[in-house]
Amino acid sequence: MLTKATGQKLRDYLLDRLFRPLGIPDPEWLESDDGYNTAANGLSLTTSEMALFGRFLLQRGNWEGRQLVSASWIDRATRTQVPTRAAHSKPDYDLGYGYQFWTCRHGAYRCDGKDGQYVIVIPGLDAVVTINSTDEENAKAILWAVWDHILPQL
């Protein structure tokens, strides 16, 4: 839809509107066989770039005095829009889903990547935690370790 409306691939649309202002000059983003960016996955960022994105979220869409995305949209996107009920014994997947963001314990929200990449935003503590694991079979344990070991240090 975005490509049809703008004439640009999602990645290209976001380059000057989001990525470059954040200091992410040329992110790699997978494309489907028909040439569209796979919006739900395939964006490759370094841990530092993930931290920049997390800070942008923490600042509710503001970057260096420039409002790149409305604060009200960030607020809506990071709140539960869809209730979830996971088959896990931990509440990190049972608190709901926003617009590509999971609602978390401790007033936090997060972006999940494949096999253990996380951008965790904790507004009440003015904190962002980024984790960039690869091929982690038990990615949920990484998230739980954040609550058990990193959160108390904040």
Q: Could you give the angle at the alpha carbon of 36 between the alpha carbons of 35 and 40, nearest 5°?
A: 140
Give the Cα separation of 130 and 45 in Å (integer).
Answer: 11
Which residues of 2-154 form beta strands (DSSP E)? Answer: 28-29, 43-44, 62-63, 66-67, 102-103, 109-113, 117-122, 127-132
Q: pLDDT tens-digit profile of 84-100?
A: 876 555 677 888 889 98
Is 136 part of any domain?
yes
Is 135 part of any domain?
yes
Is 19 part of any domain?
no
Domain count, the chain: 1
Instruction: Give the predicted TM-score (pTM) of the model.
Output: 0.90
Q: Given 3-state DSSP classes, what are the helix, strand and coil percentages for the chain, each rounded to the nearest 5?
A: 40, 20, 40
Query: Is residue 116 helix, strand or coil?
Result: coil
Is 20 part of any domain?
no
Contact 101, 111 (CB under 8 A): yes
Give the Cα separation of 59 and 67 in Å (integer).
Answer: 9
Is 64 part of any domain?
no
The dihedral built from the CA positions of residue 17, 18, 20 and 26, taken in this order, carries a sign that is: negative
Q: pLDDT tens-digit profile of 113-124?
A: 887 899 999 999
Q: pLDDT tens-digit profile of 24-83?
A: 999 999 998 988 888 778 899 999 999 999 999 999 999 999 999 999 999 999 999 988
Q: What is the pLDDT of residue 114?
A: 81
Question: Containing domain of residue 142, as a range?
Answer: 71-153
Is 32 part of any domain?
no
